[in-house]
Every structure is written in structure tokens, then in C-alpha cells.
Amino acid sequence: MHINYWKELKKNSFGKIGLAMLILVLIIAGLFPLLTRYDPGEPSHSALNPPSSEHWLGTNDVGQDIWSRLIYGARNSLLVALGVGLFTTLISTVAGASAALAGGLYERIMMRMVDALIAIPAFIVIILVAAYVLPNVWTLIFLISILTWQGGARIVRAQTLSLKERMHVYAARTFGANKRYISTRHIIPELGPILVAIFIHSATRGVFMEAGLAFLGIADISTVSWGLMMHYALKFYYLEVWKWWLLPTGLALSVTIMAFVFIGHAFETAMDPRLRVMEGEDWQC
Amino acid sequence: MKNKHNHKHISSVTIVSILVVSLLLGSSIASSGSETAKAGEVIYTIADSTGDWGYPSPHGHYPRGPGYVRMSFIFDTLVWKDTQGFVPALATDWEYIEDENAYLFHLRKDVTWHDGEKFTAEDVAFTFDYVKEHPSWWVDLKSVKQVEVLDEYTVKIYLKELYAPFLNDDASTLAILPKHIWQDVKNPSEFVNEEALIGTGPFKLVDYSKTHGTYLYVANEDYYLGKPEIDRLKFVKVSEEMASTALMRGEVNATAIPPETVVEVNGKGFTVINQSGDWNAKLMINHEKEPMSSKEFRHALAYAINRDELVEIAQRGHAIRGSPGLLSPNSPYYNPNIVKYDYNPQRAKDILESQGYQLKEDGYYWKDEEILELELITAPRMGFERVAEIIARQLGEAGIKVSVRSLEWKTLDSRVISQQFDLAISGHGGIGGDPSILNKVILGKFGYSANYTKSESLNQLLEAHLHEMDAEKRKEIVREIQKIYAEELPALTLYYPTWYWGHDGSVDIYYTMGGIARGIPIPLNTLAFMEYKAKVKAPAPTATEAPIPGFEPAISLFVLISVAYLIKRRRKH
């Protein structure tokens, strides 16, 4: 209740590393025009060049500058992270909170639906759907979100159920507060930290899934995406190019995903006192 | 509960890292195998990236070039081809009897089947009758009326009507079967035991593994041209990416190699041969659908696509620019005097404007409040995605909005066949062989054929050239076909990729004129394996080889994971 999450995050070394990595990725993505003079889509240079002062990471198979594609690709990953994060959190909150607050038949139907959705492998469904619709970045965000919100909805519902029974909510109810007042004034604000955790978790999954799908070739091939870059790079790995094409891309992707994972981890530790290591005693025993 | 969650997060770091590592490592683990040769025995090993091409019996192999090639080591045809053209095989000579519309074949008298039985004209007659009844993917013999055995070593084959491609498409493609074995076989594709592999060819199969994709042949001691100097011929599965390395390490003697490694392979003393013009990548246009149903619109598309850029960028120069007439400049039937559609985006725009399209501020053409937008489908194969990407950009610059979709190969084929597409990128081979391929790829209903029957004059010419027995006149007709095809433009040939094979020179492998059999552009002609030269340059495996690609990235990622793990450990204690 009375935890300063930001402070907790900063105290946690995982959190610090994660934040630093995320800020680095953000800066690189944001300062894109300053960091390169090449258009990532412009194939006007000779192909498969090794790194030089002209092209820091050389050029790919169609003569595009790999460095500019690498930093431009960060935007795609961050966009997916943000999109999937927001959208999934929204669906989870609406579904989970409404189920907990409304109760009854609606809650049952909703939660059984969640159960059913959990059984569906999102990855495979997206591959199937991609055969019919153009898998551009927005479609992917939408698809990943509507196929992966179930876990979040469960957590939100559980938390809402617990909040509903808290003393101050009872008190508000005795003073005649209606459901709407209670949910907007008490429940939703207090769900905050949980929602942030869900957001981070979904963002991670979003980045990961987008890269995985693009790596398999399920992507709009005109987008600049790390997954797609690896998809193409792997076709030429028998040449020297993997060192400046495949490796940096893989690292960039790992760094981004790890940034999210670390932050998420630090955040959970901050939220859940049981996870905090008490000095001088083995608290958990 | 929370604790569990916590672990999940940490383990996802590991999973991510493992995934990346396996991704980098996975494909570098290529299979290769080279046994040590027995004393004095000559083993020749050929790498193949697919491996399994089916049981190498005439009806058991997969209906693709490499499948046929594996069969051709065991079975002979009446006529065969080398670098110059037709050469005798089971038939010593042949003639066309014009009055009777028949071919007369004189057969070799010194041929025995692998099981010791004598080969006679009866076997040839039987094969023709049998294959007429059970057509294979390669030969259907629809043009053959009947076969007559004149004596033990002479057969006469009567044709139903004049049929020019007979020698190439039938006589040099049809594998002759032993009558004494096949006469009782009702279902040839299910006949896959050892008896199905009794032929007259220079090699006998001793081992085939479907799972490993390997084939092992031994020389046929009684071969009528003498015992091949290669004692054992082997096909092993090696991934496309590892092929050059396997060759340079001396693990294989010959392999197809990626264009990027040609210089290196050549520099190490290996022979590199190349071939282009037998295969073409083409832009399929749905001519049944608006607005592509308009010929002029299709012309506009052709003018807006810069085929030179496709060659230079998507193929990195390892290709020849496509001719709108389909056949390549390397073909003896090529017609250079056709509409060329040289890159001219302005001309494309003019055509679009004459069709009632208007260029709007967004840079695209509009008509009746509707934007001109087309979907281009392709598959992740042979660099097609890159081609699609570039074409989409080029058409965009000409004011045609194009969205690209990459589909699975078979889905692409079925969408093209059922005409559920606007534009598609596909391709096919066989265009270096007999021009009868034109009938298949213009009129046929395949994922790679234009499926275009609207032009009466084109239909007539396509029918006519099949029945024109005069070579020169036939050439004229085929040239005319290319001209009309280019004007009608039901599909646009984009480029002819160049293919490279590297080998150690111990066997002079070569590309067959017009391709093996019906036009298979693979340089593994059986005749080449009759002769073995002592290795000119023995490629000694060097110890200073660079480490296997994928190894270094794996190490760096391993370090990364270890660091993450250590941090986790520190947090725990």
C-alpha cells in the first residue's frame, strides 16, 4: 500500500540494469536520424559489404545499411512492446475487473472463456491467421493482444476480488457508494501496480512473439524488424556477414527483452514484500 | 504463488537466450559424411541439400529433376544427350520416316540387364506400351500410336500425328524397363523392391536411406560402354550453406554452391561451372481480374518494373535479365526482336492515365474514388521475398500501391491456380529444353503457368509448333510465339538466375545441352562418370580453417547467459 515503487525499483540492481538497458534502446530508437545517414530501406549500396567507416555494420544481401536497419528496427520492437502492452492490459483489466465486480453468470462465462483461451496456442493461431490477412505490425499487435490477455485477466480478477473485501471498500459501501464509484475511486487505482506488472509482462511477450513470427517469415516483409533481419541473415550465415549482421541483431533483441524482464522482475519484488530479502535473517523459513 | 511467478520471469531470460543460441547454432550443424575409401577404390561423393528424392526407380522417384537424375544412373534411354546434343544410348542410330510418320531405332546388341538377361527390342516395345498405360510425370507418350518390333534389335515407333518434341521429350527421357520384371507389375509407383532397380545403366544402387537422404551406387561391371572408372558413387545430404565448406574440406567431390562463395571456391583450386537460362523467375499476373485483365495495364506493370535492378540487387548480379518472351537469350529458340519493356516509369504512368487513372497527392493513382492497390504474393524461397520487396517499391514509385505477402509455397501455388491473387512471384525450369515447355507454362494450369488461353493466334501457334517437323520452320513459329506472348503479357519473366556447381576436377561434370532428359539443368550427366582423372589438386583439409560459423556467436551469447545467471545467483544468496 505504502510502497514507493519507483524507489524500490531503483534500489533493486536488476531494476537498475533493466532500466539502463531500456533507456539505451529508447535513446537509440529516438535518435535514429542522428545516428545514421542512410535510409534503412534504401538498397543503393553494394551488397554484403564488411563493416567500414561508411557502413558501421556493413551491408546486407540487398545492399541496405545494417546499422541503420538495426537501430530503426528498435522502433518496431518498441512499438510492438507498447502496443501489445497497452492493448493487453486494457483487455485484461476490462475482462478481469468486470468479472469480479459483476459476479454471477457473467463472471462464470467470462472465466470459462479465459480458461478456453489459455488452451489455445497463440503462436500457431497467428501463423494460421497470417495466411489470410496481411500480417503488418498493427495486425500483429492486435492478434498477439487478443490471444494473450487471459493470464492478465485472471490476475486482475483475483486482485479485484481481494480488494472488494478490504475494509475501506466496505466503509465506502456503508456510506452508500455505488459500484461505479467504488470501482473508479478504489478498485482501479489500487490495481495500478498489478497493471504495470501485466503491462511489462505483455510487452516482453509482444517483442518476443513479434520477433519469433518475423523470424519464421510471418511479417509484412517491408517492415524493418529484428526478427526479419535474422530471418534473412540466417540465409547467409556461411559467409563472414553473421558477425555484423546476425550477431548484433540477436544481441539487440536479447538486450531489449532482458530489459523488460529485469524491470518486470524488479517490479514484482517491490510489490511483493515476501520476495524482498531481509537483511540478516532468512525470512522465508 | 508470487514466488513461482518470479522464477518464471528469470527462466524466460534463459529461454530467450537459449533460443537465440540454438537459432545461431542450429543451422550450422550440417550433416556430412565421407567414408574412407578402400584401397584402390574410387569413390565420388556429391552433396545435395534436400537429400531424399525418392526411391530411384522409374516410377518411384519424386517428379523433380534431382529424382530423375538419381534414376538415370541405373536406367538408360534410347537416346541420350551430352554437351553437343543427341548421342546414341540404347539405340545406335535412328531415323525419322516421313511417309509413315514413324521413328526407326536400331538397338545395341551387347546390352544386358543388371540381372544378366539380354536386352532386346521386346523390352523397348513393352516399355512404350507399359508407359502409355501407366504414364509417369515425365513421359505420357500420348503422341505414340503403336510400336512394332521389326527384329530382335530394331523397333519402329509410329506417331499419331506429326510430333516434333518426340526425340527430346520421349526418346531421350523414357527409361527403358526390363519386360521380364515389369510385365507383372500392376501398380508401378508401389513397386519399390530391389527388382524395380534392374536397369541397363552404368551404376547399380546398393544403398538408399530415405531418412538420411543418401544414395550409394556401385559401378556396373558389364556396362556396354565399359565399366565406369568411378567404383562408388555417393549422394549425401549437406545443407546449402555448408556445401562450399564441405567441398573445400574435401568431404564431397561436387556440389551446388551459393554464388557468394564462387570466388573463394575457385581460389582454392576447384572448378566452378555455371549455367543460366534454364530456369526463370516470373511475375504472375491475374489476367482474369480487373484491372490486370487489360493488356495495356499489364504493359504498364512491365514498364514500371526495373528488371536490371532485380538482377543487380535481389540476385547480386548472378542472373540474366528476363526476356518478356519467356525463353532466355541462351536458348536456340530465343527471339530478340520482341517488345522489350525497358524500364520506363513515365511510360507506365502515361498508360495508367490513358486508362482513366489520376495521380493524387498521396503519390498513388486513383480511379472512381478508389486507390489503385494490388497485392503481391510470394513465398520464402530462392530470394523471392527480396524480389517482391523491390518490385513493390518500384511499382510504388510508378504510383501503384502494392502490399506484399509471403505465403507458404504450396499455398502460393494453390492461390495462383485458383486465381485468387493480383500479382505473384513464382518460377519454373525446363525452358532450356524443347520448346514444348511453352505449351505447359502458357496454357497449363499450374502454380507457375500463365493459364492463358484468350489469344487465338497464340493458341494456334502453340499447337502448330508441336507438329512442325522441320527444325527451322519450327524455330520460326516458336519465335512468333514469343513475340505474341510478350505483347499479350499474361506473365512477365523477371530474370534467369545463374547456378553454380563446384567440383574437384576428378570427374568432368558438365551441363547437358538443353538439360538432361526433358530439360533438367543439373550437371550430373551419367556419361561424365565413365571417366576418372587423378585429382589435379588434392584439397588438403587445412588446420587453420576458420571455426564453424555459428560457433563464435554461440560463445558470446553463452557468456551473456552466464552473466545473467550469476546475477540471479547473487540475488538469491
> Position of cell 558389364?
B222
Candidates B18, B313, B412, B556, partner chain A, best to mutate (most A CBs within 10 A):
B313
| Residue B289 belongs to domain with CATH number | 3.10.105.10
Among B434, B467, B499, give the residue marking a domain's end: B499
CB atoms within 10 A of CB B221: 9
| Residue B244 belongs to domain with CATH number | 3.40.190.10
**Which chain B positions have a beta carbon within 8 Å of A230's beta carbon?**
23
CB contact under 8 A, B13 and A261: yes
Q: Over the stretch B89-137, which tens digit does the pLDDT of each residue have?
A: 999 999 999 999 999 999 999 999 999 999 999 999 999 999 999 988 8
Higher pLDDT residue, B235 or A14?
A: B235
Shared domain for B190 and B86, answered yes or no, is: yes
- For residue B26, what pLDDT is reported? 42
Residue A221 grid cell: 516483409
Shared domain for B361 and B420, answered yes or no, is: yes
By Cβ distance, the residue of B27, B375, B571 closest to A234 is: B27
- For residue B291, what pLDDT is reported? 92
- For residue A10, what pLDDT is reported? 74
Q: Is residue B367 part of a domain?
A: yes
Domain boundaries, chain A: 77-274
- Mean pLDDT, rounded, for B52-65: 89
Shared domain for B82 and B68, answered yes or no, is: no
Q: Which long-range contacts (CB under 8 A, 24 or more apart) does A52-61 make?
A: A57/A244, A57/A245, A57/A248, A58/A241, A58/A244, A58/A245, A60/A229, A60/A232, A60/A233, A60/A241, A60/A245, A61/A232, A61/A235, A61/A236, A61/B316, A61/B383, A61/B386
| Domain count of the fold of chain B | 3
**Buried b / exposed e along A181-191 (16+ C-beta atoms within 10 A):** ebbeebbbebb
Q: Which residue of B has its CA nearest to A234?
A: B24
- What span, in angstroms and rounded, lies between the C-alpha atoms of B290 and B419? 12
* Residue A276 contacts B, CB cutoff 8 Å: no
CB contact under 8 A, B6 and A275: yes
Return the minimum-mean-pLDDT range out of B81-85, B230-234, B476-480, B551-555. B551-555
By Cβ distance, the residue of B313, B389, B549 closest to A242 is: B549
CB contact under 8 A, A246 and B24: yes
Fold of A77-274: MetI-like fold (1.10.3720)
Domain range for B436:
282-499
Q: Is residue B214 part of a domain?
A: yes
Q: Which residue of B has its CA nearest to A284?
A: B3
Query: How many CA atoms lie within 13 Å of A171's alpha carbon, on the beta-carbon side?
Result: 5
CB contact under 8 A, A253 and B23: no
Q: Which residue of A has its CA nearest to B7?
A: A265
**Which chain A positions have a beta carbon within 8 Å of B263's beta carbon?**
none
Give the gap in angstroms from C-alpha B22 to the nearest C-alpha of chain A.
11
- For residue A266, what pLDDT is reported? 86
Higher pLDDT residue, B513 or B555?
A: B513
CB contact under 8 A, B242 and A238: yes
Single-letter residue type at B198:
I
- For residue B62, what pLDDT is reported? 87
Candidates A238, A240, A246, A258, partner chain B, best to mutate (most B CBs within 10 A):
A238
- Mean pLDDT, rounded, for B305-325: 93
- What span, in angstroms and rounded, lies between the C-alpha atoms of B488 and B542? 56
- For residue B511, what pLDDT is reported? 92
**Which residue in B547, B31, B385, B252 sits closest to A240, CA to CA?**
B547
**Which residue in A71, A89, A81, A73 sits closest to A27, CA to CA?**
A71
* pLDDT beyond 90 at B302: yes
By Cβ distance, the residue of B10, B386, B408 closest to A62 is: B386
- For residue A227, what pLDDT is reported? 93
CB contact under 8 A, B552 and A243: yes
Return the minimum-mean-pLDDT range out of A8-12, A123-127, B314-318, B492-496. A8-12
CB contact under 8 A, B260 and A239: yes
Q: Which residue of A has its CA nearest to B564?
A: A258
Q: What angle separates helix B2-26 from helix A188-215, to the nearest 10 degrees?
A: 20
Can you tell me whether residue A270 is helix, strand or coil? Answer: helix
Specify whether the CB–CB gap between A145 and A87 falls below 8 A.
Answer: yes
CB contact under 8 A, A43 and B390: yes
**Which chain A positions have a beta carbon within 8 Å of B258's beta carbon?**
238
By Cβ distance, the residue of B2, B550, B552 closest to A272 is: B2
By Cβ distance, the residue of A48, A261, A274 closest to B12 is: A261
- For residue B356, what pLDDT is reported? 93
- Mean pLDDT, rounded, for B223-252: 92
Single-letter residue type at B355:
Q
Output the CA torsion sign for A71, A75, A76, A77.
positive
CB contact under 8 A, A265 and B9: yes
**Which chain B positions have a beta carbon within 8 Å of A266's beta carbon?**
none
CB contact under 8 A, A261 and B405: no
- For residue B514, what pLDDT is reported? 86
Candidates B9, B15, B310, B382, partner chain A, best to mutate (most A CBs within 10 A):
B9
Query: How many CA atoms lie within 13 Å of A178's alpha carbon, on the beta-carbon side?
Result: 1
Q: Over the stretch A246-284, which tens digit does the pLDDT of each residue have?
A: 999 999 999 999 999 999 888 888 777 666 554 444 444
Can you tell me whether residue B94 is helix, strand or coil? Answer: strand
CB contact under 8 A, A63 and B313: yes
CB contact under 8 A, A221 and B3: no
Shared domain for B111 and B70, answered yes or no, is: no
* pLDDT beyond 70 at B389: yes
Shared domain for B111 and B168, answered yes or no, is: yes
Higher pLDDT residue, A165 or A6?
A: A165
Shared domain for B128 and B185, answered yes or no, is: yes
Candidates A221, A234, A262, partner chain B, best to mutate (most B CBs within 10 A):
A221
**Which chain A positions have a beta carbon within 8 Å of B382's beta carbon?**
none
Among B479, B499, B519, give the residue marking a domain's end: B499
Q: Which residue of B has its CA nearest to A245?
A: B553
* pLDDT beyond 80 at B505: yes
**Which chain A positions have a beta carbon within 8 Å of B571's beta carbon?**
13-14, 277
- Mean pLDDT, rounded, for A47-67: 86
Can you tell me whether residue B192 is helix, strand or coil? Answer: coil
Q: Over the stretch B5-25, which tens digit does the pLDDT of each residue have?
A: 445 454 555 555 555 555 444
- Tell me the DSSP string of B334-390: ---SS------HHHHHHHHHHTT-EE-TTSSEEETTEE-EEEEEE-SSTTHHHHHHH
| Residue B95 belongs to domain with CATH number | 3.90.76.10
Give the gap in angstroms from C-alpha B520 to the nearest C-alpha of chain A.
25
Shared domain for B449 and B480, answered yes or no, is: yes
CB contact under 8 A, B385 and A217: yes
- Burial of residue B156 (CB within 10 Å: 0-12, 13-18, 19+) is middle
Shared domain for B253 and B118, answered yes or no, is: no
- Mean pLDDT, rounded, for B235-244: 90
Q: What is the 3-state secondary structure (H, E, C) of B225-242?
A: CCCCCCCEEEEEECCCCC
Q: Which residue of B has its CA nearest to A202?
A: B9
Give the gap in angstroms from C-alpha B572 to the nearest C-alpha of chain A.
8
pLDDT band at B555 (very low <50, low <70, confident <90, very high): low
Average pLDDT, chain B: 87
CB contact under 8 A, B13 and A269: no
CB contact under 8 A, B404 and A257: no
Residue A204 grid cell: 516482453
Single-letter residue type at B521:
P
Enumerate the H helices of B60-159 as residue ranges.
Answer: 65-72, 121-133
Q: Over the stretch A112-121, which tens digit does the pLDDT of each residue have?
A: 999 998 888 8
- Mean pLDDT, rounded, for B152-162: 94
Q: Which residue of B has its CA nearest to A200?
A: B9
Q: What is the dihedral of CA B4, B7, B12, B15, to 10 degrees?
A: -110
Shared domain for B230 and B216, answered yes or no, is: yes
**Which chain B positions have a beta carbon within 8 Å of A268's beta carbon?**
2, 5-6, 9
- What span, in angstroms and rounded, lies between the C-alpha atoms of B44 and B368? 66
Shared domain for B261 and B306, answered yes or no, is: no
Among B499, B529, B561, give the residue marking a domain's end: B499
- For residue B240, what pLDDT is reported? 85
Give the gap in angstroms from C-alpha A188 to the nearest C-alpha of chain B.
21
Residues 69-128 of A with CB under 8 A from B: none
Shared domain for B56 and B151, answered yes or no, is: no
- For residue A281, what pLDDT is reported? 41
Residues 1-20 of A with CB under 8 A from B: 13-14, 17
The helix, strand and coil proportions of chain A, stated in percent and rounded to the nearest 5, come to 70, 0, 25
> Position of cell 534467369?
B496
- For residue A3, what pLDDT is reported? 62
Shared domain for B227 and B188, answered yes or no, is: no
ipTM: 0.73
* pLDDT beyond 70 at A151: yes
Give the gap in angstroms from C-alpha B496 to the nearest C-alpha of chain A.
18
Q: Is residue B154 part of a domain?
A: yes
Candidates B7, B20, B422, partner chain A, best to mutate (most A CBs within 10 A):
B20
Q: Over the stretch B344-374, which tens digit does the pLDDT of each residue have?
A: 999 999 999 999 999 999 999 999 989 999 9
pLDDT band at A43 (very low <50, low <70, confident <90, very high): confident
* Residue A207 contacts B, CB cutoff 8 Å: no
CB atoms within 10 A of CB A242: 23
Q: Is the bond into B553 cis (omega within 30 degrees of 0)?
A: no
- For residue B546, what pLDDT is reported? 44
* Residue A51 contacts B, CB cutoff 8 Å: no
CB atoms within 10 A of CB A154: 18
Q: Is residue B373 part of a domain?
A: yes
Q: Is residue B24 part of a domain?
A: no
